[in-house]
Amino acid sequence: MNSILLRGNFLRQSRIPRKSTGLSLFGGSLLRGRSFHNTPCRRIVKPYLLADIGEGITECRVVSWFVKPGDRVNQFDAICEVQSDKASVEITSRYDGTITALHHEVDEMAIVGKPLLDVDVDEEISAADEDSSPVAESPNAASESPAEMPIEPSTPSMSSELLEETPEPPAAKNSGLSAPSVKHLLKEHNLLLEDIPGTGKGGRVLKEDVQRYVASQAPPAPSAKPTISPPPEAQSTDQVVELTPNENQMCRVMTAALTIPHFGFSHSVDFTALNTLRQKFNKNNIHGQPTTPPKLTALPIVMKALSLAFSHHPKLNSHFNPESETGKPRLTIKGSHDFGIAVDTPQGLVVPVVRDVQNRSILSIAGEIKRLSDLAKQGKLTPGDMKGATFTVSNIGSIGGSVVNPVIVPPMVAIVAMGKTEEVVVLTGEKNEKKEVSTRQKTVLSWSADHRVLDGAAVARCAEMVGRMIEEVDGLGVILK
């Protein structure tokens, strides 16, 4: 079927094969082309929809944009960061093209399934692609309908110019191999890829290469003494603020926790032997591992003791559904010990999950705690990092406080909080023998349990077993799996 070059489509026919003769009306003669019967190559503006990130999330807050209208993007380039109630997610581009519009400002809420931005896509879009998602044609293409556009004759010079291929500019060094994080750093610091010495395979520029280059270009720190900033002025008027996504999630969870009858139990545990052991480990490098492990703290040892105790008291590692499908309350005792750890971040409290504690070594637990904590403080946790906890451990003592009243997060049935370790003067010695005065390092463990499914005696027995394992930590290795 013959095609006719129409005004308005002239400039968009930029990818005509070199051997095509084209089609024109000149002096009444009709020249037949070989390529114009195919799907037209159009420059289109494609809305980029916010994808479903799981967990039933319907909206996300736009934390930051990495692009602006007019910026060029390639596939997998980072375009923005969004935050749901549970995690922050970095959104990457699915297309090569130019950003034409951003639909949301920073801190606005974006709806799942609705456009985040518009991209002027470079490539041809097949009929299947056009049917699968909404497409807005470029304004020039939509300005006149085919019925209204007059046919203009083309001259031989115009046809020959149209059929000439425009050579593409040479690609920058390793630009196609650069990771999104590298491109984002280059854009952030206004650098060119060619200026960065690459240490990766084949001279590929790595993220560390960019960071080293930026550090080497940074001006020396001033030697002047830091000045003390004046205190902020007192606020004289009321201020209404919206809750952050983390605060919204906390509000919902804590409202649900009001239905739980909490039973509290606290006891003081001697951490002297545990602290001596971990300090010796950290100082003497006795781990025998080929790589240096993270600094050993008390938390992974306590988590391992909890897991061992749960093999004797499994009901504390459970989920409770007061209204199951049978219409009766149901307790599900979990086979895997997946412990949520409360982490304080600039964005608020988050609780990532260390999985399979029962099958991990203490060093493995310590490494996973560090990995999750680093991601949490960077705001890079995913929804998968924070779902499915079977028990929660809070190390509130790292901030302060001794005896606390932790709140259970449903559907879990128990939680424990570690208080601040303090030096305590005690009398030691066997019964009916002369006592000696000594100092010990004591930490209070505060437990809360769901009194609908756990009674006080069950919690106390489990807590005392955990306490004995901590106080006799030298023998803990004998029973470790």
Q: Compare 205 and 105 and report the one with higher pLDDT.
A: 105
- Whether 334 and 390 have beta carbons less than 8 Å apart is answered as yes
Is a pLDDT exceeding 70 seen at residue 58? yes
Are residues 35 and 175 part of one domain?
no
Domain range holding 451? 259-479
Are residues 325 and 405 part of one domain?
yes
pLDDT of residue 92: 87
Are residues 306 and 181 part of one domain?
no
Are residues 285 and 368 part of one domain?
yes
- Provide the 8-state DSSP code for 412: B
Residue 197 is assigned to a structural domain of this protein: yes
Are residues 307 and 397 part of one domain?
yes
* Closest alpha carbon to 306 in 386, 360, 374: 360
Residues contacting 257, CB < 8 A, separation 6+: 407, 408, 409, 410
Give the CA radius of gyration of the chain.
32
Query: Residue 78 — very low, low, confident or very high, per pLDDT cuts 50/70/90?
Result: confident
Are residues 415 and 360 part of one domain?
yes
Q: Compare 43 and 119 and report the one with higher pLDDT.
A: 119
Q: Which of 224-238, 308-322, 356-370, 398-412 has the lowest mean pLDDT?
A: 224-238
Are residues 300 and 177 part of one domain?
no
Query: Residue 28 — very low, low, confident or very high, per pLDDT cuts 50/70/90?
Result: very low
- Among residues 103, 262, 319, 451, which one is catalytic? 451
Are residues 283 and 380 part of one domain?
yes
Residue 222 is assigned to a structural domain of this protein: no
Active site residue 337: no
Are residues 396 and 358 part of one domain?
yes
Is a pLDDT exceeding 60 seen at residue 148? no
Residue 235 is assigned to a structural domain of this protein: no
Q: Cα angle at 391 between 385 and 397, to 5 degrees? A: 90
Residue 470, Cβ density class (10 Å: 0-12 exposed, 13-18 middle, ≥19 buried):
buried
Q: How far apart are CA 446 and CA 419, in angstroms?
A: 8
Q: How far apart are CA 101 and CA 113, in angstroms?
A: 17
Are residues 277 and 147 part of one domain?
no
pLDDT of residue 287: 56
Residue 223 is assigned to a structural domain of this protein: no
Q: How far apart are CA 316 and CA 322, in angstroms?
A: 16
Are residues 328 and 268 part of one domain?
yes
Is a pLDDT exceeding 80 seen at residue 480? no
CATH number at residue 191: 4.10.320.10
Tokens of residue 59, six digits: 């909206």
Residues contacting 234, CB < 8 A, separation 6+: none
Residue 237 is assigned to a structural domain of this protein: no
DSSP secondary structure string for all residues of 10-40? TTT-----TT-----EETTEEPPPSSTTSPP
- Among residues 52, 107, 122, 455, which one is catalytic? 455
Residue type for 165, please?
E
Is a pLDDT exceeding 80 seen at residue 204? no
Active site residue 455: yes
Q: How far apart are CA 116 and CA 102, in angstroms?
A: 6
The pLDDT tens digits for 119-141 are 888 655 444 444 444 444 444 44
Looking up tokens 């409202």 gives 255
Query: Residue 323 — very low, low, confident or very high, per pLDDT cuts 50/70/90?
Result: confident
pLDDT of residue 144: 43
What is the pTM for the complete model shown?
A: 0.58
- Whether 357 and 337 have beta carbons less than 8 Å apart is answered as yes
Residue 84, Cβ density class (10 Å: 0-12 exposed, 13-18 middle, ≥19 buried):
buried
Residues contacting 65, CB < 8 A, separation 6+: 79, 80, 102, 106
The pLDDT tens digits for 88-117 are 778 888 888 899 999 999 888 888 889 989
Residue type for 134, please?
P
